[in-house]
Chains A and B, each alone.
Chain A
């Protein structure tokens, strides 16, 4: 999983913001809720970008924008260097496909597996019925389902098998990028590992790029090549997976890593020192959004938004660091 440098990103997001107007009552003026506060990301071919953060941090809003289900308030989405406008939804869907969390609600119970898997081909008017059938056969084989299951219905399948159908449906139109939104959290442990192995194999085989959204950091560590940590609509740290897990910089990243419960009976439940509640996004804290929960917070953290510090391919938004003179590394501030 080396990181070749001079490559064009297959997907680039620059300064994506999304603001919703939230009603406060019948006569009150709606208040703005900033779900995304300027997210910039680059995904290269065969990258697996793990996106982690607590519920409400904007992970799913970002996924919706990438899938063309929501339009960003501002900012640009570029696929292969080409700007994607609000009218290019079809184009976006052709190249970016989703796998959702719950395979029990993401498959239509009244459609046969064949109909489910071939639907993207029908929507995008690709091929005829013969070639579509062939494509379905190929896909079912690829995700490890027996060919006879094409005539079956979702109700006859187990959770793991359903998730395989969902993967087959996502891959049938040969997308380049797959958004995996918590693809294994609804599954049992023994099934989860099968699906993770399958996703890893498919990436190798088909050269796929994943945006892997998960709250399970052990899974992210296992699968991701890069990791982006989100907090309240912003990416507070992004780095190569190995670097981030070996040396987390942002205090929030540290807390998230500490929350991973490895099966080690000699350890007890960690104390994360995240006293305060996750803030209300309608009235986010001043300065650094994380400061009320940060054990290392200083005076400046509550007044001034944190600087965006870059070193190599990683970045962190935090007052606790400063860039070195040569711009290559970060030093404690």
Chain B
């Protein structure tokens, strides 16, 4: 850990030396003593973690020194240690941003030690937060988030790189499980807004009656149950990015309100009158085709064009070829690392089985399949017996297998009979075939 740098600004040689000696009793502290305000200001480049400042200095007042410090380094805590017992002086200094104010009396020793402890804790917390933010940034470095070598994924990398250089709105489309939120986070944490919040809201998960309050906040008493003021997601994301997932599910009334907020860059909390300026970057995602929804009258055209910005369409996993194996290997390695297991390999037959599947749940489903396989195996290999597909989309699966037309027919009719509770008449109607065909196949025990 770096030394905790403390500046003491004290013109009384004896008192200054005594404070220096006292604070240096903790070997983690690096204490520097200055006799004038000017000397202190000249040395600010050394970035002290705290400044103990006497109010009465020979060259300038403590207030002037503090103002200069705050002008250049607003985050350095300045503690006034003074012989001034005048309360109005203390109040004025605290109002100007002094961290604390002590009179040089019997308690100064304990108070200084306590305030130092508090500042050290704050500095440590700030450094931890900064470290964690960097960690998150590294975690969401987009090439760590989106794995793949397929041409479609390389195109996506190019679009993400373009999106992080500007503040343009981004609309992400793709089937469920393709990683829309991960892409949104990758854009945020690699952009200039990375140190500000990333706030996500799933529009479809919030009841219609509450969505406005959730997004824009509400004032106390705005509606039954609004017992306190609530800050909405847009305000929480101030300076950062708001991610509106499943935007296609938003009703028309709310779409009109969202459009107004985006256009005016200001909002009013539910039940409030105050206009609040907002500075957020917008990223939206949907698994619907919004252009189609506009045609159908379910989505406002003006909002659609506002949100479209830079469109990124995430491809379904089944169209990403060898990325399936690359991702499978990545997930198995991650799982083994997280669970402190020996490294596992994926056999050729297991890889073939994965490549033959159509993954309706996309990357999310692949991850679940791989993690289950890693748990099921008793060896250091995952083979095809450990790979099990539980997709409800059996028809989709069916088409991934190479079969004869007769076999496809048999499987399709079996699937429909199961689905419609063996109602032959209904199945025949659905498949537009004669009921006698189905009865014949049953009689011949084909199904």
A-B interaction: no
Using CB atoms and an 8 Å cutoff, list the residues of chain A in contact with chain B: none
